[in-house]
Chain A
Amino acid sequence: MTNTQQSSNMQTGYAARRRAINIVVYVILAVMVVIWIFPIIWLIIQSLRGEEGISTSYFFPHEWTFNNYIRLFNDDRFPYGRWLLNTLVVAVFSCIISTLFILMVSYAFSRLRFKSRKTFLNLGLILGMFPGFMSMAATYSIMELFGLKQSLVALVIVYSAGAGLGYQVAKGFFDTIPRSLDEAAKIDGATRSQIFWQIILPLSKPIIVYTALTTFIGPWTDYIFVSYFMKDNSDNYTVALGLYSMLGNQTMSEYFTVFCAGAVVIAIPITILFVVMQRFYVEGVTGGAVKG
Chain B
Amino acid sequence: MDFLDYVQMTKGQRIAYRIKSFFTGIPRAIGNFFKIVVYFIKTFFVAIGNGFKNYGRRFSKGDAGTKLSYIIMGAGSMMHKQIGKGLIFLASEIAYIYFMATFGISYLSKMYSVGVQIDEAGNMVDGVIGRERAMYTKNLLGVESISNLDTLDNSNQVLLFAVMTIIITIAFIAIYVANTKSAYASQQTISEGKTPLNFFYEMKMFLDERFHVTLLTLPVVLLMLFTVLPIIFTIFMAFTNYDKEHQPPGSLYWWVGFNNFADVFYANPMKSETFGKILVWTIVWAIFATFTNYILGIVLALLINKKGIKFKGFWRTMFVITAAVPQFVTLLLMRLLLGDNTGLNAMLGTQYPFLSDATWARITIIIVNMWVGIPYTMLISSGLLMNIPEDLYESARIDGANAFQQFTKITFPYILFVTTPYLITTFVGNINNFNVIYFLTGGGPSPSNYYQAGQTDLLVTWLYKLTINSSDFNLAAVIGIIVFVICAVGSLITFNMSKASKNEEEFS
Partners in one complex: yes
Binding site for B on A (CB under 8 A): 18-19, 22, 25-26, 28-29, 32-33, 35-37, 39-40, 42-43, 54-59, 101, 104-105, 107-108, 112, 114, 117, 120, 122, 126-127, 129-139, 141-142, 145, 157-158, 160-165, 191-194, 196, 217, 220-221, 223-224, 227-228, 240, 243-244, 247, 256, 259-260, 263, 266-267, 270-271, 273-275, 278, 281-283, 285-286, 289-292
Q: B325 to chain A: which residues have CB within 8 Å?
A: 40, 267, 270-271
Do B329 and A43 touch (CB < 8 A)?
Answer: yes
Partner of B488, one of A40, A54, A126: A126
Q: From DSSP, what is the main secondary structure of chain B's interface residues?
A: helix
A-B contact pairs, 29 of them (CB 8 A): A22-B306, A26-B309, A33-B315, A35-B371, A36-B322, A39-B322, A54-B341, A129-B428, A129-B484, A130-B483, A131-B432, A133-B434, A133-B463, A138-B233, A138-B234, A162-B227, A191-B207, A191-B208, A191-B211, A192-B209, A193-B207, A193-B208, A244-B439, A266-B329, A270-B325, A274-B323, A278-B320, A278-B379, A292-B421
Q: A26 to chain B: which residues have CB within 8 Å?
A: 309
Whether, in the assembled complex, B324 has its beta carbon less than 8 Å from a beta carbon of chain A, the answer is yes
| Chain A proximity mask over B154-167: 1 for CB below 8 Å, otherwise 0 | 00110010000000
Whether, in the assembled complex, B491 has its beta carbon less than 8 Å from a beta carbon of chain A, the answer is yes
Do B234 and A55 touch (CB < 8 A)?
Answer: no
A243, B329: Cα distance in complex, Å: 8
Binds A, one of B14-22, B90-98, B215-223, B443-451: B215-223
Q: B145 to chain A: which residues have CB within 8 Å?
A: none
Q: A133 to chain B: which residues have CB within 8 Å?
A: 434, 460, 463-464, 467
Whether, in the assembled complex, B422 has its beta carbon less than 8 Å from a beta carbon of chain A, the answer is yes
Known interface pairs A55-B342, A104-B216, A165-B223. Does A244 touch B332 (Cβ–Cβ under 8 Å)? yes
A221, B328: Cα distance in complex, Å: 7
Q: A141 to chain B: which residues have CB within 8 Å?
A: 156-157, 160, 233
Interface size class of B (residues with CB under 8 A): 35 or more
Q: B421 to chain A: which residues have CB within 8 Å?
A: 289-292
Tell me the residues in window 426-444 of chain B with beta carbons closer than 8 Å to chain A beta carbons.
Answer: 428, 432, 434-435, 438-439
Whether, in the assembled complex, B229 has its beta carbon less than 8 Å from a beta carbon of chain A, the answer is yes
A283, B239: Cα distance in complex, Å: 44
Do A162 and B480 touch (CB < 8 A)?
Answer: no
Nearest-Cβ distance from residue B496 to partner chain A, whole angstroms: 13
| Chain A proximity mask over B359-380: 1 for CB below 8 Å, otherwise 0 | 0000000000001000100011
Q: A256 to chain B: which residues have CB within 8 Å?
A: 336
A138, B438: Cα distance in complex, Å: 22
Do B329 and A267 touch (CB < 8 A)?
Answer: yes
Do B207 and A134 touch (CB < 8 A)?
Answer: no
Known interface pairs A43-B333, A134-B480. Does A282 touch B380 (Cβ–Cβ under 8 Å)? yes
Q: B160 to chain A: which residues have CB within 8 Å?
A: 138, 141-142, 145
Q: B207 to chain A: which residues have CB within 8 Å?
A: 191-194
Q: A164 to chain B: which residues have CB within 8 Å?
A: 216, 219-220, 222-223
Query: Which residue of A is nearest B384, CB measured?
Result: A286
Do A270 and B326 touch (CB < 8 A)?
Answer: yes
Q: A120 to chain B: which residues have CB within 8 Å?
A: 216
Whether, in the assembled complex, B339 has its beta carbon less than 8 Å from a beta carbon of chain A, the answer is yes
Q: B318 to chain A: which residues have CB within 8 Å?
A: 33, 36-37
Do B380 and A290 touch (CB < 8 A)?
Answer: yes
Q: From DSSP, what is the main secondary structure of chain A's interface residues?
A: helix
Nearest-Cβ distance from residue A176 to partner chain B, whole angstroms: 9
Q: A136 to chain B: which residues have CB within 8 Å?
A: 230, 467
Whether, in the assembled complex, B327 has its beta carbon less than 8 Å from a beta carbon of chain A, the answer is yes
A145, B439: Cα distance in complex, Å: 32
A180, B477: Cα distance in complex, Å: 48
Nearest-Cβ distance from residue A102 to partner chain B, whole angstroms: 8
A8, B430: Cα distance in complex, Å: 51
Q: A54 to chain B: which residues have CB within 8 Å?
A: 336, 339, 341-342
Known interface pairs A139-B230, A192-B207, A224-B464. Does A55 touch B322 (Cβ–Cβ under 8 Å)? no
Whether, in the assembled complex, B51 has its beta carbon less than 8 Å from a beta carbon of chain A, the answer is no
Residue among A157, A163, A292 facing the most chain B CB atoms (10 A cut-off): A292
Query: Which residue of A is nearest B154, CB measured?
Result: A141
Whether, in the assembled complex, B304 has its beta carbon less than 8 Å from a beta carbon of chain A, the answer is yes
A150, B300: Cα distance in complex, Å: 44
A259, B332: Cα distance in complex, Å: 10
Do B219 and A105 touch (CB < 8 A)?
Answer: yes
Binds A, one of B113-121, B133-141, B191-199, B343-351: B343-351
Tell me the residues in window 141-188 of chain B with beta carbons closer than 8 Å to chain A beta carbons.
Answer: 156-157, 160
Whether, in the assembled complex, B425 has its beta carbon less than 8 Å from a beta carbon of chain A, the answer is yes
Residue among B336, B371, B476 facing the most chain A CB atoms (10 A cut-off): B336
A275, B483: Cα distance in complex, Å: 34
Do A139 and B211 touch (CB < 8 A)?
Answer: no
Q: A142 to chain B: which residues have CB within 8 Å?
A: 160, 225-226, 229-230
Do A286 and B218 touch (CB < 8 A)?
Answer: no
Q: B306 to chain A: which residues have CB within 8 Å?
A: 22, 25
A139, B232: Cα distance in complex, Å: 11
Q: A162 to chain B: which residues have CB within 8 Å?
A: 222-223, 226-227
Q: A243 to chain B: which residues have CB within 8 Å?
A: 328-329, 332
Given contacts A55-B343, A161-B222, list 20 more A-B pairs with CB under 8 A: A29-B315, A39-B322, A39-B334, A130-B231, A131-B463, A134-B463, A138-B160, A138-B229, A138-B237, A142-B229, A191-B211, A193-B211, A221-B326, A223-B435, A240-B328, A256-B336, A270-B324, A270-B325, A270-B326, A290-B384
Nearest-Cβ distance from residue B40 to partner chain A, whole angstroms: 8
Whether, in the assembled complex, B292 has its beta carbon less than 8 Å from a beta carbon of chain A, the answer is no
Query: Which residue of B is nearest A29, CB measured?
Result: B315
Whether, in the assembled complex, B54 has its beta carbon less than 8 Å from a beta carbon of chain A, the answer is no
